[in-house]
Amino acid sequence: MSAAIDVIGLRKSYGEKLVLDGIDLNVAEGTIFSLLGPNGAGKTTVVQILSTLITADAGEIRVAGHDLHKNPEAVRAAIGVTGQFSAVDGLMTGRENLILMADLYHLGKTEARRRADELLEQFDLVEAGKKLAMTYSGGMKRRLDLAMTLVGSPRIIFLDEPTTGLDPRSRHSMWTMIRDLVAGGVTVLLTTQYLDEADELADRIAVLDHGRLVAQGTPEELKRLAPGGHIRLRFTSPDAFSLAAQVLPTAAPNHESLVLQVPNDGSVHSLRDLLARIDDASLEVDELTVHTPDLDDVFFAVTGQPTQSTESTQPVEHEKVTTK
Partner 1 sequence: MSTTMNPAGATIRPLADIGTMLRRNLRHAQRYPGLSLGALGMPVIMILLFGLIFGDTFSAGLGGGGGRGDYINFLTPGILLMSIASGTMSPAVAVCMDMTEGIVARFRTMAIFRPAVLTGHVLGNVILTIVSLGLVVGFAVLIGFRPNASFGEWLLAAALLIAVTVALTWFAIALGLTSKTPESASNIVLPISLLLPFLSNTFIPLDAMPSGIRWFAEYQPFTPIIDTLRHLLLGTPMDSGDGWLALAWCLAIAVVGYFWAQKSYNKGTVA
The nearer residue to partner 1, 104 or 316, going by C-beta atoms, is 104
Using CB under 8 A, pick the residue from 5, 7, 79, 146 that binds partner 1.
79
CB of 139 to partner 1, least distance (A): 16
CB of 232 to partner 1, least distance (A): 49
Site string for partner 1, 10-49 (x = CB under 8 A): ----------------------------------------
- 163-193 in b/e form (b: 16+ CB < 10 A) is bbebeeebbebbeebbeebbeeebbbbbbbb
Distance CA 46, CA 135 (A): 31
32 φ, ψ (degrees, to nearest 5):
-105, 125
Q: Does 137 bind partner 1 (CB under 8 A)?
A: no
Q: Does 135 bind partner 1 (CB under 8 A)?
A: no
From the list 38-46, 51-59, 213-221, 253-261, the region that binds partner 1 by CB under 8 A is 51-59
Q: Does 182 bind partner 1 (CB under 8 A)?
A: no
- Which residues are CB-contacts of 181 (< 8 A; sequence separation ≥ 6)? 150, 157, 188
Q: Does 256 bind partner 1 (CB under 8 A)?
A: no
What residues between 216 and 235 interact with partner 1 by CB under 8 A? none
- Which residues are CB-contacts of 142 (< 8 A; sequence separation ≥ 6)? 82, 86, 162, 163, 166, 170, 174
The nearer residue to partner 1, 85 or 255, going by C-beta atoms, is 85
293, 263 contact by CB (below 8 A): no
| Alpha helix ranges (H) inside 209-267 | 219-225, 238-247
CB of 169 to partner 1, least distance (A): 24
Q: Across the beta sheet with 17-28, what order do the strands follow? A: 17-28, 3-14, 58-63, 66-67
Using CB under 8 A, pick the residue from 21, 24, 60, 89 that binds partner 1.
89
The nearer residue to partner 1, 69 or 291, going by C-beta atoms, is 69
Distance CA 221, CA 241 (A): 31
CB of 37 to partner 1, least distance (A): 21
Q: Does 74 bind partner 1 (CB under 8 A)?
A: yes
Using CB under 8 A, pick the residue from 86, 242, 292, 314 that binds partner 1.
86
Distance CA 66, CA 68 (A): 6
| CA angle in degrees (0–180, nearest 5) for 57-62-64 | 145
> Which residues of the shown chain bind partner 1 in the complex (CB under 8 A)?
51-55, 66, 68-69, 71-74, 76-77, 79, 81, 83, 85-92, 96, 100, 103-104, 106, 132, 148, 152, 321-324
